[in-house]
Structure 1
Amino acid sequence: MTDTQEPAHKKDMTRRRMVIASGATVVAAGIGAGAVATASADEDPAKAARGKKSGGKKGEECYRLTSETTEGPYYIDADKIRKDITEDKEGIPLTLRLKVIDSDSCKPLAHAAVDIWHCDALGIYSGYEAASTGGPGGPGGPGDGTPPSGMPTDAPTGVPTDAPTGEPPSGGPGGGGGGHSEPTDDERYLRGTQLTDKHGYVEFKTIFPGWYQGRCVHIHTKVHVGGKLTDAGYEGGHTCHTGQFFFAESAVLDSAKIEPYSTSTTTRTTLTEDTIYDQSGVTGGLLKLSYRKHHMARGVVASITMGVDPDETHDGTDL
Structure 2
Amino acid sequence: MTDPQEPTDNKDMTRRRLIVAAGAAAAAVGIGGTVAATASADESHGTPGRGSSGSTSSSGSASGSHSGSGPGSGSGSEECYRLTSEAIEGPYYIDADKIRRNITEDREGIPMTLRLQVIDADTCTPLRKAAVDIWHCDALGIYSGYESASQGGGTPPTGPPPSGAPTGAPPSGGPGGGGGGGGHVEPTDDKRYLRGTWLTDQHGYVEFRTVFPGWYQGRAVHVHTKVHVGGKLTEAGYEGGHTCHTGQFYFDEKAVLASAAVAPYATNTTQRTTLTEDSLYDGSGATGGLLHLSYRKGHIARGVRAELTMGVDRSQTHDGTDAGGGPPTASPSAP
Would the aligned equivalents of 2:150 and 2:174 in 1 still touch at CA under 8 Å? no
Structure 1 runs, 4 residues or longer, greater than 3 Å off:
19-32, 48-58, 146-151
> Is 1:309 aligned to residue 313 of structure 2?
yes
TM-score, normalised to structure 2, is 0.72
Shift of 1:40: 3.1
From the superposition, tell whether residues 54 and 195 of structure 1 become closer, same or farther in structure 2 (CA, over 3 Å).
farther
Aligned residue among 183, 190, 194 for 2:187: 183
- Whichever residue aligns with residue 60 of structure 2, its letter is A
Q: Which runs of 5+ in 2 are unaligned?
A: 1-13, 37-52, 153-170, 324-335
Aligned residue among 190, 196, 209 for 1:192: 196
Q: Which runs of 5+ in 1 are unaligned?
A: 1-14, 135-143, 152-170
- Whichever residue aligns with residue 121 of structure 2, its letter is S
Quick one: distance in 2 between partners of 1:220 and 1:62? Answer: 24
2:119 aligned residue:
101
Quick one: distance in 2 between partners of 1:260 and 1:122? Answer: 7
Would the aligned equivalents of 1:114 and 1:223 in 2 still touch at CA under 8 Å? yes
- Whichever residue aligns with residue 255 of structure 1, its letter is S
From the superposition, tell whether residues 268 and 110 of structure 1 become closer, same or farther in structure 2 (CA, over 3 Å).
same
Aligned residue among 113, 124, 138 for 1:120: 138
The alignment yields a C-alpha RMSD, in angstroms, of 3.1
Aligned residue among 140, 145, 148 for 2:172: 145
> Is 1:266 aligned to residue 270 of structure 2?
yes
Shift of 1:242: 0.2
From the superposition, tell whether residues 20 and 72 of structure 1 become closer, same or farther in structure 2 (CA, over 3 Å).
farther
From the superposition, tell whether residues 80 and 149 of structure 1 become closer, same or farther in structure 2 (CA, over 3 Å).
closer
Would the aligned equivalents of 1:239 and 1:313 in 2 still touch at CA under 8 Å? yes
Task: After superposition, give the CA deviation of every residue in 1:133-162 in whole Å (9 maximum; x if it has no partner).
Answer: 17xxxxxxxxx71498689xxxxxxxxxxx
Task: After superposition, give the CA deviation of every residue in 1:24-64 in whole Å (9 maximum; x if it has no partner).
Answer: 494444544231111238x9x9xx66775568998232243
Specify which structure has the bigger relative contact order, considering alpha-carbon pairs within 8 angstroms and separated by 6 or more residues: 1
2:155 aligned residue:
none
For 1:166-181, what aligned pairs fall within 5 Å after superposition? 178-181=182-185
Shift of 1:318: 2.3
Aligned residue among 293, 298, 302 for 1:294: 298
Q: Percent identity?
A: 68
Would the aligned equivalents of 2:81 and 2:119 in 1 still touch at CA under 8 Å? no
Shift of 1:22: 8.2
> Is 1:73 aligned to residue 91 of structure 2?
yes
From the superposition, tell whether residues 259 and 236 of structure 1 become closer, same or farther in structure 2 (CA, over 3 Å).
same
- Whichever residue aligns with residue 224 of structure 1, its letter is H
TM-score, normalised to structure 1, is 0.76
